[in-house]
Amino acid sequence: MDADQNFTVDVKKKEVVAAAMPTVEFWLPLSNLDLLMPPLDASMFYCYKSHGVEEGRAEEEFFSSRVGILKEALAKALVPFYVLAGEIVCSAVGEPEVLCNNRGVEFTVAFADIKLCELNLHRPDESIGGKLVPERKQGVLSVQVIFLIVPDT
């Protein structure tokens, strides 16, 4: 598939994952450096090889079980990194701050109709941007898990 060709990402579920334990709500002002820099989202795209589908289980069922493990791990990781479960809001003087309120992280599960080997990873903005990497809306962090087809070699 050329980078110019389109593929679709079918979003199956969107939910919010909060920290596994309650956190104390407070406002975290941004540093002077944060205030000087323009808003910037850093996108990361990780690929993990499946070690095969367990006997008697469909690929989607196998994928769903892994998604459950990822959500549970994310909820546990948000306990010490509770700031990532907050949201960016404006302070009384109009400056952006992080409201550490355990709002949670947007967690999206999706399926893509493309093989991993067909993605143009040399130009990710053309092939991945906006589809395989989620767009962060209000929270500090957003996670998207996608099932891709990896042909047998």
Structure confidence at residue 5 (pLDDT): 56
Structure confidence at residue 3 (pLDDT): 47
Q: What is the pTM of this model?
A: 0.79
| Token output for 77 | 């990781």
- Residue 128 contacts residue 92 (beta carbons within 8 Å): no
The half-sphere exposure of 56 on its side-chain side, counting CA atoms within 13 A, is: 0
- Return phi, psi of residue 135, to 5°: -95, 120
pLDDT tens track for 34-88: 888 887 777 777 776 666 655 555 666 777 888 899 999 999 999 999 999 999 9
Structure confidence at residue 150 (pLDDT): 61
CATH of 9-149, one of 3.30.559.10, 2.40.50.140, 1.10.3210.50, 3.40.50.300: 3.30.559.10
User: What does the domain layout of the chain look like in residue ranges?
Assistant: 9-149
pLDDT tens track for 94-121: 888 999 999 999 998 888 888 888 888 7
Distances (CA, A) of 118 to 110, 132, 148, 153: 18, 13, 11, 14
